Every structure is written in structure tokens, then in C-alpha cells.
Structure 1
Amino acid sequence: MQTHFTEEDLKKPHIREADRVLRSCVHCGFCNATCPTYQLLGDERDGPRGRIYLMKEMLEAPEGADKVTEETRLHLDRCLTCRNCETTCPSGVEYHKLLDIGRAEIERRVPRKPAERAQRYALRKMLVEPKRFQALLKLGQTFKPLVPGALRDKMPPAPVDAGKRPDGRQHARQMLILEGCVQPGLSPNTNAATARVLDRLGIGLTPVAEAGCCGAIDFHLNAHDDGRARARANIDAWWPHIEAGAEAIVQTASGCGAFVKEYVDILKDDPAYAEKAARVSELAKDLVEVLRDEALDDLSVKQGRRLAFHCPCTLQHAQKLGGAVEGVLTRLGFSLTPVADAHLCCGSAGTYSITQPELSTQLRDNKLDNLEAGNPEVIVTANIGCQTHLAGANRTEVRHWIEIVDDALSTAP
């Protein structure tokens, strides 16, 4: 794609990056074929190619140009950031990097109305602090009938006891785990189950209390500076353990894993953190990357449950791990049902299900229809956002896949 930035424009790092991404696009439109919002709405501006044109037009336009409007922002807001287009693109366009730039720029040029700003600020403050989120969640569960519908559907019943976590310090192999911001409140058993399964494989798992939210929520709601600050804080928390020989930083939420792997990019211009960020991104592993390399035949698993696996976009498109969980579950002897259109987003997409509820609900219902077509007993996934979103329909039970593995190990003879 030809661009028309001035020499002065190209002195700005974000414009240089945008120019690089834009020039890799060849206008082919293959991306629209796999874009969930384009499939629903049929509007070129609600597909990646159209959004790329909108962002190019905006970034090339002078300050105050009439062509940069709230309508531009609407089409960028409707993007799920699922990155399906990147998987499809034959030219390797790094669309998500351009989108981060475009969203930050439209936020600056066309400020949101106070109600929208307040909503987005509240989401960031409610979700990113685990203790605050858990307190608000408990309050909401107590007074659930009074909670607004968009949030009430995402609020599960009070979780059952997660069970005991093994100590694990006796193992020669040691890994860290990012506990996450909402997962400890919504599904506390996920990380506990992970610790128990890895313990059986001779791996000790250490949570680091000082490590908090990965920063993805801030970053994707255009609070980039706050997102980078959280990344730096996590690096500081993990660094002593990395220096002590931690083998990996395990993520059980694929959304967190995808973002931690991006630390190398979002902090590349920070001389104090660039090298450490690159090391942290190198050590970041989704749970399935750990398990697929282990001798799973040594585990005694009692199978029997028929599962449908929903592969989150952050696992298959961002981390390029499509098929990895299915491979591990198959090796362990589980029966997996076929899922049509498995590449399409479920509509969760971080806070998207709250900021774009109508589109999100359509995508969720379409996804559940495909997941339930094979009559599974349980739907399993690899990201807390997808898990909560799909479960909010109150149809088939939805759990993290490691919980099913842990259950099968616990009941094995």
C-alpha cells in the first residue's frame, strides 16, 4: 500500500511504525473472508481492509481534518482484535500493531463523550486489581438481581473451593505463574488445577504476589502508558526469580500469555527495560506449551467425558498455538467433538462484550451453536474471558481445559 506521510511525520515513532505496517498491505481482501464483524455486518469498514484504509486516511490527515470523525472510531471500536486476519493474510500484515496506533490516535483527535470515558475508566479500575475485583464480584453475587444485565450475565455463582495447591518447592524444575486479575475471582480452580497437574510432572509452580495484571486491559482500552507501567512492574517482580533460574513464566489465560509475549515490542524503546522485556517474553509460555513437551504417557488419566474445545483467538491467532490443546487432550485419551468455524471469535475479546454487547452476543450464540453441534458434555477453553462469556449463556457447562485434566487425574485408579 502506498503511503503519503511527510518527512516531519516520519520522525514520530508511531507514524514510522504505521507506515511500515501499511506498506506491507497489498489490498487483497483475504482478511475480510475470516473477519467475524465483516461476516455479521457486511460493511467494508467493519473488515480489516476497510479499517486499514480508515486508519491510513486518519494518520495522513492534518490535525482537525473533517474526515476524522466519531464514525471512524465506531468502526475501529467494532474490531475484536481477534487477529484472525493476521492468520489469513498472505503478506504478513501486523494489523494489531496498526490498530493500537489508530485507536490511540482517534482517541486523541476525537475525544469520547463523558459517559463513554467514564465506562472505560471504570472497566480498567474494576478489572485490573484482583482484590478490588474479587470484592466487587462478591458484592455483585450477593445482590445479583440489582446488577445491570450486561454485567449480570458474566457473573458466575460463587465458585467452589479450588482445593489445595501442592508446595512444589522440592522439585528441581521451577516455573512462575501469572495469577491474573479476574481469573482468581471467576475461576480460582484453574491455577490450582495447573499446580496439581504440573506437580505430578515434577514441576514446581511459584506465584509471585507482586506481579499483577499483565497490562492488556489498559493497553487495549488505549491507556498505553498504564499498560506499559504494569508490564514494567511485572518484570520487576519476576526478575529475581528469573535470575534464580526460573524455567518459564506460565500463563493459564491465553489473553495474558499473548500480551506478555508482546512485552518485547511494547517496551522496545525503553532503554531500562528493553532487554529484560525481551527475556520475559522469551520465557512466557502458555500452559499447553509446557504440557505438550512432557511425557504425558506417565500420567494415569481416567477419561470418558466428551469435550468440545473452543480455541481462543489469543491462543490460535496471537500465539499461533491452534491445535496444541487438542493435541494434548487427544494424547491423554479425551474424546473431542468436531467444531465448525473454529477459527472465528466467540465475541468475548476482553472488554468487547461490555462495550459492544449486541455484536458480542451474536458471535457468542453462533459459537455455542457450533460447539454444541457434537453434543459434548462439557465445553473447554483456554482463556477466562471466553470461559465467562460462553458460560453466561447458561447453556452447556464451560470450564478451563486443565480443570478437566485435573479431575481425570484425581479420579484415576
Structure 2
Amino acid sequence: MQTHFSEKDLEKPHIREADRVLRSCVHCGFCNATCPTYQLLGDERDGPRGRIYLMKEMLESPEDDDQITEETRLHLDRCLTCRNCETTCPSGVEYHKLLDIGRAEIERRVPRSTSDKALRFGLRKALVEPGRFKALLALGQTFKPLVPGALKSKMPPAPVDAGKRPDGKRHPRQMLILEGCVQPGLSPNTNAATARVLDRLGVGLTPAPEVGCCGAIDFHLNAQEAGRERARRNIDAWLPHLDAGCEAIIQTASGCGAFVKEYVEVLADDPDYAEKARRVSEAAKDLVEVLGQEDLTTLDVRADQRLAFHCPCTLQHAQKLNGAVETVLTRMGFTLTPVRDGHLCCGSAGTYSITQPELSRQLRDNKMDALEEGKPEVVVTANIGCQTHLAATNRTPVRHWIEIVDEALG
């Protein structure tokens, strides 16, 4: 794709990066074939190729161009950032990088309405602090009939007791774990089950209570500098433990894992943190990457359930781990049912299910139809957002896959 940036424009780092990404696109349109929103809406502007043209036009236009309007943002907002297009693209276009630049630019040029700003600010403040989120969740569950529809469907029943975590200090092998923001409130058993399974494999978890939200929620709601600041704080909290010998930083939510692995990109222009971010990103591992390297026969798993695995977009398209969980579960003896169109997004996509409820609901229902075709007893996934979103259908039970493994330990 040809671009027309001036030499002065190209002195700006974000324009230079946008120019690089734009020039790698060859207009082929393969991306549209696998774009969930294009499949639903059939509008070129709601597919990756159309959005690329919209962003190119905006970035090349002068500051006072009145053609850049709310309509441009509408089509960028509708993007799930599922990155299915990147998996499909034969030219290796790094669409998500261009999207981050485009969203920041439209935010600057066309300010949002007061109500839209308030919603996004509220989501950021409500979701990123585990204690605050737990309190708000409990309040919402108590007064659920009064909660607005888009939020009501996101509120599961009170979670079951997570059970006891083993004392990981007794193991020579130590790893870190990102506890998460909403996961401790919505599914506290996920990390507890992880600790129990790892304990059986001779791995302990070193606590790092200073670590907070990974930064993805802020970053993807266009508060990008706030997301970077959270990344810096986490890096400062994790590095001493890595220096002390911790082998990895485990992520049990693939959305968080994808973002932590991208700290190296997010902080690439920060001279004080670029190298530190590289170390942390290299140490970040999804739970399946850790278990995939272990001798799983020592777990003595009694696998007697039929499972359908929903592979989150952040696992298969961002982290490139498509098939990894399925392989681990198969090694343990679980029966996996086939899943049609497994590459498509379920519609959760972080806060998308709240900011774009209609599209999100359509994608969710389509995904559950596909997951249930093989008559599984349980649907399992690897991301708390997908888990909560799919479970809101109140159909087949939806859980994190490590919980099923934990319950099946002999």
C-alpha cells in the first residue's frame, strides 16, 4: 500500500510505525474472510481492510480535516481486536499496532461524548482493582434486578469456595503468577486450582502482592499511558523475583498473558524500561506452556468428561498457541469434541461486551451453538472474559480448563 506522509510527519514515531504497517498491506482482502464483525455486518468499513483505509486517510489528513468524524471512530470501536486477521494475513500485517495508533489519533481529534467518556472511565476504575471489583460485584449480585442489562448478564452467581492453596515455599522450583483483576472475584478457583496442579508437579508459586492489573484494560480503552504505567509497576515488582531464580511468570488469563508478552513493544520507546520489559515479556508464559513441558503422567488424572475447548483469540491469534491446550488435555486422556469455526471470536474481547453489547451477544450465541454441537458435558476455555461471557447464556457449564484438571487429579 502506498502512503503519502511528509518528511516532517515521519519524524513522529507513531507515524513512522503506522507507515511501516500500512506499506506491508497488499489490499488482498483475505482478512475480511475471517473477520467476525465483517461477517455479521457485511460492511467493508467493519473489516480490517476497510479500517486500514480509514486509518490511513485519517493519519494522512490535516488536523482540521472535517471528514474525520464520529463515523470513523464507530468502525474502529466495532473492531474486537481479536487479531484473527493477523493469523490469516499472507503479508504479515501487524494490524493491532496500527489499530492502537488509529484509536489514539481519533480519540485526540474527535473527543467522545460526556456519557461515553464516563462509561469508559467507570469501566477502567471498576475493573482494574481486585478489591474494588469484588465489592462492586457483591453489590451488583445483591441488587441484580436493578443493574442495567449489559452489565446484568456479566454477573455470575457467587463463586464456589476456591479451596486451600498449597504451601509452595517447600519446592526448589518457583514461579510467579499474575492473580488478575476480575478473575479473583469472578473465578477465584482458577488460580487456586493452578497452584494445586503445579504443586503436584513440584512447582511452587512465589507471591508478588505488589503486582496489579496488567494494564490491558487501560491500554485498550485508549488510556494508553495509564496502561504503560501499570506495566512499569509490574515490571518493578517482578524483576527482583526473576533475579532470585523464579523460572517464569504464569498467566491463567490469556488476555493478560498476551499483553504482558507485549510489554516489550508497549515500552519499546522508554529508555529506562525497554530492556526490563524485554526480560519480563520473555519470562511470561501461559499456563499451558508450562504444563506442556512437564511429565503429566505423574498427575494421575482420571479424565472421564467430554469437553469442548473454546480457544480465546488472545491465546490463538495473539500468543500463537492454537492447539496447545487441546494437546495437553488429550495427553491427560480427556475426550474433546470438535468445534466448528474455532478461529472466530466469542465476542467478549475485554470490555467489548459492554461497549458493543448487540454485536457481542450475536457472536456469543453463534459461538455457543458451535461449541455445543458435539454434546460436551462442559465447555472449557483459558480466559476469564470468555468464560464469563459464554457462561452468561446459562446453557452448558463453562469453566477454566485447569479447574477440570484439578478436579480429576487421582
Q: Is the 8 A contact 1:390 1:398 kept in 2?
A: yes
Q: Is the 8 A contact 1:178 1:207 kept in 2?
A: no
Matched, 1:365 2:368: no
What are the Cα deviations for residues 79-102 of structure 1, in whole angstroms up to 9, with x where unaligned? 000000000000000000000000
Matched, 1:72 2:72: yes
State the alpha-carbon separation in 2 of the partners of residues 207 and 81 from structure 1: 31
Matched, 1:393 2:393: yes
| Counterpart residue identity of residue 305, structure 2 | R
What is aligned with 1:28? 28
What is aligned with 1:111? 111
What is aligned with 1:321? 321
Q: CA deviation at 1:161?
A: 0.7
Q: Equivalent residue of 1:56, what SS?
A: helix
State the alpha-carbon separation in 1 of the partners of residues 64 and 362 from structure 2: 36
What is aligned with 2:167? 167
| Counterpart residue identity of residue 226, structure 2 | D
Q: Is the 8 A contact 1:263 1:277 kept in 2?
A: yes
What are the Cα deviations for residues 29-80 of structure 1, in whole angstroms up to 9, with x where unaligned? 0000000000000000000000000000000000010221100000000000
What is aligned with 2:122? 122
Q: Would you identify which runs of 4 or more consecutive aligned residues in structure 1 move more than 6 Å?
A: none
State the alpha-carbon separation in 1 of the partners of residues 64 and 294 from structure 2: 57
| Aligned counterparts, 1:40-59, within 5 A | 40-59=40-59
Q: Is the 8 A contact 1:45 1:75 kept in 2?
A: yes
What is aligned with 1:210? 210
State the alpha-carbon separation in 2 of the partners of residues 388 and 187 from structure 1: 9
Identity of aligned residues (%): 82
| Counterpart residue identity of residue 276, structure 2 | K
Q: Equivalent residue of 1:169, what SS?
A: helix
State the alpha-carbon separation in 1 of the partners of residues 125 and 312 from structure 2: 24
What is aligned with 1:63? 63
Q: Give the structure-2-normalised TM-score.
A: 0.99
What is aligned with 1:37? 37
What are the Cα deviations for residues 146-166 of structure 1, in whole angstroms up to 9, with x where unaligned? 111111111011111100001
Q: Is the 8 A contact 1:253 1:382 kept in 2?
A: yes
What is aligned with 1:271? 271
What is aligned with 2:376? 376
What is aligned with 1:19? 19
Matched, 1:280 2:280: yes
Higher mean C-alpha displacement, 203-212 vs 172-181: 203-212
Q: Equivalent residue of 1:195, what SS?
A: helix
| Counterpart residue identity of residue 192, structure 1 | A
Structure 2 residue ranges without an equivalent (≥5): none
What is aligned with 2:91? 91
Q: CA deviation at 1:171?
A: 1.0
Q: Is the 8 A contact 1:179 1:207 kept in 2?
A: no
Q: Equivalent residue of 2:118, what SS?
A: helix
What are the Cα deviations for residues 378-402 of structure 1, in whole angstroms up to 9, with x where unaligned? 0000000000000011111000000
State the alpha-carbon separation in 1 of the partners of residues 246 and 2 from structure 2: 46
Higher mean C-alpha displacement, 106-115 vs 296-305: 296-305
| Counterpart residue identity of residue 327, structure 1 | T
State the alpha-carbon separation in 2 of the partners of residues 196 and 202 from structure 1: 10
Matched, 1:82 2:82: yes
Q: CA deviation at 1:289?
A: 0.2
What is aligned with 1:293? 293
State the alpha-carbon separation in 2 of the partners of residues 273 and 105 from structure 1: 24
Q: CA deviation at 1:240?
A: 1.1
What is aligned with 1:184? 184
| Counterpart residue identity of residue 224, structure 1 | Q
Q: CA deviation at 1:297?
A: 1.6
What is aligned with 1:221? 221
| Counterpart residue identity of residue 45, structure 2 | R
Q: CA deviation at 1:208?
A: 1.1
Q: Is the 8 A contact 1:165 1:196 kept in 2?
A: yes
State the alpha-carbon separation in 2 of the partners of residues 239 and 329 from structure 1: 32
| Counterpart residue identity of residue 385, structure 2 | G
What are the Cα deviations for residues 298-338 of structure 1, in whole angstroms up to 9, with x where unaligned? 22111111100000000000000000000000000000000
Q: Equivalent residue of 2:90, what SS?
A: coil
Q: How many residue pairs align between the two structures?
A: 410
Q: Equivalent residue of 1:406, what SS?
A: helix
State the alpha-carbon separation in 2 of the partners of residues 42 and 60 from structure 1: 26
Q: CA deviation at 1:170?
A: 1.4
State the alpha-carbon separation in 2 of the partners of residues 149 and 72 from structure 1: 27
| Counterpart residue identity of residue 214, structure 2 | C
What is aligned with 2:145? 145
What are the Cα deviations for residues 242-271 of structure 1, in whole angstroms up to 9, with x where unaligned? 110110000000000000000000111111
What are the Cα deviations for residues 108-142 of structure 1, in whole angstroms up to 9, with x where unaligned? 00000000000000000000011100110011111
State the alpha-carbon separation in 1 of the partners of residues 67 and 323 from structure 2: 43
Q: Equivalent residue of 2:168, what SS?
A: coil
Q: Equivalent residue of 2:408, what SS?
A: helix
| Counterpart residue identity of residue 122, structure 2 | A
Structure 1 residue ranges without an equivalent (≥5): none
State the alpha-carbon separation in 2 of the partners of residues 69 and 150 from structure 1: 26
What is aligned with 1:337? 337
Matched, 1:200 2:200: yes
Q: Give the structure-1-normalised TM-score.
A: 0.99
